A and B are shown apart, each in its own frame.
Chain A
């Protein structure tokens, strides 16, 4: 039995008929065609599939698409503006926060969720608030630096404005 799903994906309204057992990550990748969100452990352990639901980081591999009815879902594709990288994306680029790059979409979305709630986190807060995301290359140091870079860039942008 399919149910009616009406939601916003990256700011665009969508209406679809989805099966009850369709996972949000499969909906995003297979139905909407947004493959930036990756599948890692498939069990909520690695954080790779992190997206924002109503502004909060959530695992799309453990969320049923039908439960997102009426909500706003944001994926990695929502960041950046016409080819210009967002502050967090620039941080990962400048500070070499991505090595193999596999964890990066989840890391960036977790950082996005964190900075919206707390625009100036200290290092300890960045570490604890991004603890749901696992990276096997960087040892996290470069990822923390990437987020700190974004914090500074957003701060100076705010001061300039």
Chain B
């Protein structure tokens, strides 16, 4: 890998100061755990002259009870998230998703905020400078042509964070701090369907915490991903399901997906299955709407058709498993 480029490192101790420092230089980047950001810096994908390290900001490292729900600081480590008693008991999909990110060493310093703001990934993008240069770079960075879809002018790099869909099925919101002040938005609104620029964060804005409402009474939830290596890997496809069932009928169904589009997404049309018997036909129909809305492209070594099939199968399996408990 390439040498580290020169940059100035700042270590602010409040989020407001971090946002101010970030605004002082156009090329600046936030740095939390660094499991992905440092890799991208070393590959020349990011070339900041200023880096703002967030690990000295104490206020964003707590998980606190917030009304009926929880407020998770963006600096909470994934390893702490997946064993937190309230998360394991009330929000199992989040604990399962956090436990499935990379390997245990990555989780010991990788943060939830970093996993939510993870850059999109692609076979033609997450490579060394030398590899990308020999391929005339790509549309997402320095190049003219998207090697995934050479005819178009869109980037299809896939969002590959595991925790976002798990948070989405519980209706999570995120708190953002920027030079212009604070705002809170629903988590799905943090993303847009554009692999080149998939975060709706305003310039210099920082994600500081995640708000979770109380889970619906009697609801069951889970997350599962498909990956090449069981030990350390990004998802080829990931699926979170939350449902409430009552005597063979669903009274609520939420499904969210990751790694099959440039953004993590809530599956639309799941309300159609509420109040109807959950038989084989309904399970097949759930699988099919998931497959229709997943649009994986050739961004991994595994073929898109497989990822589309597997994400539907994951959704069907999780719904069946949760509804039959």
Please say whether chains A and B are actual partners in one complex: yes
Q: Give chain A's interface residues, CB within 8 Å of chain B.
A: 1, 3, 19-23, 41-45, 47, 50, 53, 56-59, 62-64, 66-67, 69, 110, 113, 128-133
Q: Are B34 and A64 in contact (CB under 8 A)?
A: yes
* Residue picked from B4, B9, B34, B56, most chain A C-beta under 10 Å: B9
27 A-B contacts, Cβ less than 8 Å apart? A21-B6, A23-B4, A23-B38, A42-B42, A43-B39, A43-B42, A43-B43, A44-B39, A47-B103, A50-B105, A56-B79, A56-B109, A57-B108, A58-B105, A59-B35, A59-B105, A62-B39, A63-B34, A64-B34, A64-B53, A66-B53, A110-B105, A129-B104, A131-B103, A131-B104, A132-B106, A133-B105
Q: Report whether A62 and B34 are in contact in the complex, using a CB–CB cutoff of 8 Å.
A: yes
Cβ A20 vs Cβ B39 within 8 A: no
Residue of B1, B102, B232 most packed against chain A (CB within 10 A): B232
From B5, B9, B42, B103, give the contact of A66 (CB < 8 A): B9
CA distance A56 to B33 in the complex (A): 13
Contact A20 B104 (CB under 8 A): no
CB proximity of A31 to chain B, nearest CB, Å? 14
Task: Indicate with 1 or 0, residue by residue over B92-117, a CB within 8 angstroms of chain A CB atoms.
Answer: 00000000001111101100000000
Chain B residue, CB-CB nearest to A44:
B35
Hey, which chain A residues are within 8 Å of B104, CB to CB? 57, 128-132
Report chain B residues within 8 Å CB of A130. 104
Q: B39 contacts A67, CB within 8 Å?
A: no
Closest to B2 in A: A42
Q: Is the CB of A131 within 8 A of B35?
A: no
Q: Is B231 an interface residue (CB 8 A)?
A: yes
Q: Cα distance A103–B103 when bound, in Å?
A: 16
Which residue of the partner chain, among B42, B43, B53, B102, contacts A132 with CB atoms under 8 Å?
B102
Q: How far is the CB of B301 from chain A (nearest CB, A)?
A: 15
Known: A62-B35, A62-B39, A67-B11. A56 touches B108 (CB 8 A): yes
In the complex, which residues of chain B have a beta carbon less than 8 angstroms from the beta carbon of A21?
4-7, 9
The answer on a CB contact under 8 Å between A20 and B105 is no
Task: Give B11-22 as 1s and 0s: 1 = Cβ < 8 Å from A's Cβ atoms.
Answer: 100000000000
Supposing A57-B108, A110-B105, A131-B103 touch, asked if A45 and B232 sit within 8 A by C-beta, the answer is: yes
Nearest chain A residue, comparing its CB with the CB of B229: A131
Which chain A residue has the least Cβ–Cβ distance from B107? A132
Is B270 among interface residues, defined by CB-CB distance under 8 A? no
In the bound complex, what is the Cα–Cα distance between A56 and B108 (angstroms)?
Answer: 7
Q: Which residues of A contact B5 (CB under 8 A)?
A: 21
Per CB-CB distance, the 4 closest pairs between chain A and chain B, nearest first, are: A20-B9, A132-B103, A132-B105, A131-B231
Question: Across the two chains, which residue of chain B brings its CB closest to A22?
Answer: B4
Which chain A residues lie closer than 8 Å to B39 at the CB level? 43-44, 62
Across the two chains, which residue of chain B brings its CB closest to A65? B9
Name A18's closest neighbour in chain B (CB-CB): B9
Name A109's closest neighbour in chain B (CB-CB). B105
Would B53 and A58 count as touching, CB distance under 8 A?
no
Please indicate which of the listed interface residues A23, A44, A131 has the most CB atoms of chain B within 10 Å of its own CB: A44
Known interface pairs A21-B7, A62-B35, A64-B9; A47-B105 also in contact (CB < 8 Å): yes
